[in-house]
């Protein structure tokens, strides 16, 4: 039985449909992150699970119970808001105890639960303070504590870290993950930040324009993005996308007329238009004869461990063929250079030119996972 | 923040610019107040032939007068009644508008209109509505078995003046409550809903406490209004009657001074009222400027 099941959920405001049928099955104890750009419907979806928005169509189950018609308070969930939504006129203790008092727990019971949560979150010294006397990180913890004391079936978190500064965000990210693992409660977490998404999630839901484009583990989303949108959204710098046309056994024709023949990939039938995607970290500088493509360098960013070479595909028409390569930090490269690059074997992604959907490489041999190190680098960029 | 300052070399100009306002303040506020103060120590016959300095005799008589005690009590009941009725009605309307999505602006506009009606006109309107002979409300109350007559029932009279005085004040309070409600982050109410609080619980534990600065401010403003700005309402409806039952302090000043021509006592009452205004103003500035903190 899944902890939360979202089935065919749609949401319309008047005649405008903003969520076009989303299905997600969340296992008990799983940490699911919904990620997407602003306006993709991720918060709306979360608020429908919470009961703060009505569900236009479809059903949402929490703990095997259809909750479509239940009040938020009856759904056995707890939510952490972006602005924390702490009750400003109540002390930290009262903030955390509010829901328990309404639930009718005994005073001793409430005290025990709040004390336990406060100890876990190191909030003991602040229990008598008002929210305005706390720092951003402490407020964030109180919001977590308020969710924690209720021991719900699921935590819903709506961009809980976006009001914190960068350093605190990294710290709280870890704390949230550890906390969720130690209490083992299912969590549904909404963010627009791909680093948060990748580091926190057991499974990612990448949303775009009201559609869940891919639901999979972070590594799978990185290694096999289902659509061009997912490919471009996850990973930094974003994946390079080049329009190509299949040229039979010669490979793929690039916009500049040259052909490239990626190894270990089944090519589409001749004449079919496609999009070739390759991550900047999967381009390696080689000697001219072995090059798959050439990059006319326009700008260089030195990050220390890596050097990013921005430019365009040699010979491509203006406004097309944008290309970025992530090179080792020691690489000497100047704007104006023409850089011969090879694509690492198996690291080519092909997408349909019209739908943007991934073209499956069904008969490819399984490849050893080579993505671990570049991913870590991509996220630290 | 830097603001651009214009400097005038002429030393006379600032005073010249202030002069009109100063003149108005002196002629219409300070001078009459001074006159009332002076008069409160004098005793004068009705035709102004003889004036005698009597020290505090006017005040002594005033505080010993059971009619004045009655007027004080009537004022307390009246102003608390007006404040309570207009605050509660305004809050209910504001909550209703806060929940309305589509026509909230239209409702707000319509609900503010009564504030533009002059107190005397409002008084006449309610006098008509509650008129025991021709009014529609006594007619309806009679069907419910209640015989309304504010001309001889002091309770009816008090209810009438409270309603008439509250009516336009509701608009004023309503505006402040709408603004106050809009300032409460929606996520707080949502968080309370997730914590399991029903609508009433949410109102009394979250919304109302957060509105308390607004409510306290309005309470003071409404008490001041009920005590000092309601002369026209009383004059147009009950004229202080029946049997002094709606004779609030402000109305008594008028009655004793201009009808009874007891100018000394009337002036002494004015000075007492001035003292009350000063106290209320101090309260307002002390507590409200500092804001109720939470």
Say yes or no: B43 and B72 in one domain.
no
Say yes or no: A208 and A245 in one domain.
no
Answer yes or no: pTM beyond 0.90. Answer: no
Q: Let me know if residue B211 belongs to a domain.
A: yes
CA-to-CA separations, B131 to B37, B60, B118, B122, B126, in angstroms, rounded = 39, 39, 20, 14, 8
What 3-state class would DSSP assign to A155? strand
Which residues on A lie below 8 Å from B191 (Cβ)?
Answer: 79, 81, 85, 87, 146
- In total, how many domains does chain A have? 2
Domain that includes residue B118, residue range: 58-289
For B61-79, write each residue's pLDDT tens digit: 888 888 888 899 999 999 9
Compare CB distances from B209 to A73, A81, A89 and report the shortest one's residue. Answer: A89
Mutate to test the interface with A, among B183, B185, B187, B195 (most CBs of A within 10 A): B195
Residue among B161, B133, B126 nearest B244 (CA): B161
Mutate to test the interface with A, among B191, B203, B211 (most CBs of A within 10 A): B191
Domain's final residue, options A223, A248, A267: A223
Mean pLDDT of B159-175: 90
Say yes or no: B241 and B273 in one domain.
yes
Say yes or no: A19 and A128 in one domain.
yes
Any CB–CB contact under 8 A between B200 and chain A? no
Domain that includes residue A343, residue range: 230-380
Cα B109 from Cα A77, distance rounded (Å): 40
- Number of Cβ pairs closer than 8 Å across A and B? 61
Say yes or no: A70 and A195 in one domain.
yes
Which residues on B lie below 8 Å from A50 (Cβ)?
Answer: 190, 194
Backbone torsions φ then ψ of A76, nearest 5 degrees: 60, 45
Domain's final residue, options B53, B69, B101: B53
Cα A204 from Cα A209, distance rounded (Å): 16
The token pair that represents B255 in the structure block? 């009655």
Say yes or no: B99 and B40 in one domain.
no
For the complex shown, is ipTM > 0.85? no
CATH number at B113 reads 1.10.3720.10
Q: State the pLDDT at residue B78.
A: 93
Mean pLDDT of B170-186: 91
Q: What percent of chain B has pLDDT over 90?
A: 26
Any CB–CB contact under 8 A between B54 and chain A? no
User: Average pLDDT over chain B, rounded to whole?
Assistant: 86
Which residues on A lie below 8 Å from B187 (Cβ)?
Answer: 81-83, 85
* pLDDT higher than threshold 80 for residue B100: no
Tokens 């100009």: give the residue.
Answer: B13
Compare CB distances from B194 to A72, A103, A130 and report the shortest one's residue. Answer: A72
Cis peptide before B242 (omega within 30 of 0): yes
Say yes or no: B180 and B77 in one domain.
yes
Compare CB distances from A85 to B185, B201, B205 and report the shortest one's residue. Answer: B185
For A290-314, write each residue's pLDDT tens digit: 888 889 999 999 988 899 999 988 8
Domain's final residue, options A223, A244, A275: A223
Compare CB distances from A89 to B195, B198, B294 and report the shortest one's residue. Answer: B294
CB A160 within 8 A of CB A143: yes
Q: Between chains, do B193 and A85 touch, taking CB under 8 Å as contact? A: no
DSSP notation for A65-117: EE-TTS-GGGS-EEEE-TT----TTS-HHHHHHHHHHHHT--HHHHHHHHHHH
- In total, how many domains does chain B have? 2
Q: Let me know if residue B220 belongs to a domain.
A: yes
Q: Between chains, do B187 and A74 touch, taking CB under 8 Å as contact? A: no
Q: Between chains, do A102 and B201 touch, taking CB under 8 Å as contact? A: yes
Which residues on A lie below 8 Å from B193 (Cβ)?
Answer: 51-52, 71-73
CATH number at A179 reads 3.40.50.300
> B216 vs chain A: nearest CA distance in angstroms?
16
């Amino acid at each position: 039985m899944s902890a939360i099941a979202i089935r065919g959920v749609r949401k319309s405001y008047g005649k405008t449909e903003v969520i076009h049928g989303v299905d997600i099955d969340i296992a008990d104890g799983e940490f699911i992150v919904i990620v997407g750009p602003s306006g993709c419907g991720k918060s709306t979806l979360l608020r429908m699970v919470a009961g703060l928005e009505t569900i236009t169509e479809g059903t949402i189950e929490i703990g095997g119970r259809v909750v479509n018609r239940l009040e938020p308070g009856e759904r056995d969930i707890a939510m952490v808001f972006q602005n924390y939504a702490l009750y400003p006129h109540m002390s930290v203790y009262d903030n955390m105890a509010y829901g328990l008092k309404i639930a009718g727990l005994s005073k001793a019971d409430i005290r025990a639960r709040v004390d336990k949560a406060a100890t876990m979150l190191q909030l003991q010294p602040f229990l008598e303070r008002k929210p305005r006397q706390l720092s951003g990180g402490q407020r964030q913890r109180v919001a977590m504590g308020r969710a924690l004391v209720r021991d719900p079936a699921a935590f819903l978190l709506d961009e809980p870290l976006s009001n914190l500064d960068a350093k605190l965000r990294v710290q709280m990210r870890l704390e949230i993950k550890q906390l969720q693992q130690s209490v083992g409660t299912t969590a549904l977490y909404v963010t627009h930040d791909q680093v948060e998404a990748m580091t926190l999630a057991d499974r990612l839901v990448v949303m775009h324009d009201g559609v869940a484009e891919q639901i999979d583990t972070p590594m799978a989303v990185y290694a096999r993005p289902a659509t061009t949108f997912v490919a471009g959204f996850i990973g930094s710098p974003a994946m390079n996308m080049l329009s190509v046309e299949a040229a039979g056994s010669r490979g793929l024709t690039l916009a500049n007329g040259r052909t490239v023949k990626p190894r270990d990939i089944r090519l589409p039938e001749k004449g079919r238009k496609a999009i070739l995607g390759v991550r900047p970290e999967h381009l390696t500088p080689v000697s001219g004869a072995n090059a798959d493509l050439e990059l006319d360098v326009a700008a260089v960013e030195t990050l220390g461990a890596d050097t990013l070479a921005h430019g365009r595909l040699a010979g491509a028409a203006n406004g097309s063929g944008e290309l970025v390569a992530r090179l080792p930090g020691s690489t000497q490269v100047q704007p104006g250079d023409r850089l011969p690059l090879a694509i690492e074997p198996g690291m080519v992604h092909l997408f349909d030119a019209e739908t943007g959907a991934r073209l499956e490489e069904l008969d490819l041999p399984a490849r050893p996972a080579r993505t671990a190190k570049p991913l870590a680098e991509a996220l630290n960029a | 923040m830097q603001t651009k300052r214009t400097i005038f070399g002429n030393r006379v100009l600032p005073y010249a610019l202030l002069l009109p306002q100063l003149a108005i303040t002196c002629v219409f506020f300070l001078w009459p107040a001074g006159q009332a103060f002076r008069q409160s120590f004098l005793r004068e016959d009705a035709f102004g032939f003889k004036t005698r300095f009597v020290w505090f005799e006017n005040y002594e008589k005033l505080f010993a007068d059971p009619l004045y005690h009655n007027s004080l009590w009537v004022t307390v009941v009246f102003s608390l009644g007006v404040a309570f009725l207009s605050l509660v009605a305004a809050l209910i309307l504001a909550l209703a508008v806060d929940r309305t999505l589509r026509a909230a602006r239209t409702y707000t506009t319509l609900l503010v209109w009564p504030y533009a009606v002059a107190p005397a006109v409002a008084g006449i309107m309610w006098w008509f509505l509650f008129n025991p002979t021709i009014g529609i409300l006594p007619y309806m109350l009679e069907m419910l078995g209640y015989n309304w007559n504010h001309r001889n029932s002091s309770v009816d009279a008090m209810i009438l003046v409270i309603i008439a005085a509250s009516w336009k004040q509701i608009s004023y309070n309503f505006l402040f409550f709408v603004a106050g409600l809009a300032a409460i982050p929606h996520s707080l109410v949502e968080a309370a809903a997730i914590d399991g609080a029903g609508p009433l619980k949410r109102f009394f534990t979250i919304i109302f406490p957060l509105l308390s600065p607004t409510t306290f401010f309005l309470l003071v403003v409404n008490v001041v209004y009920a005590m000092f700005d309601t002369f026209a309402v009383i004059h147009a409806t009950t004229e202080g009657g029946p049997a002094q039952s709606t004779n609030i302090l402000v109305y008594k000043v008028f009655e004793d001074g201009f009808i009874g021509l007891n100018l000394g006592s009337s002036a002494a009452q004015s000075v007492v009222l001035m003292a009350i205004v000063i106290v209320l103003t101090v309260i307002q500035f002390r507590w409200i400027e500092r804001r109720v903190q939470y």
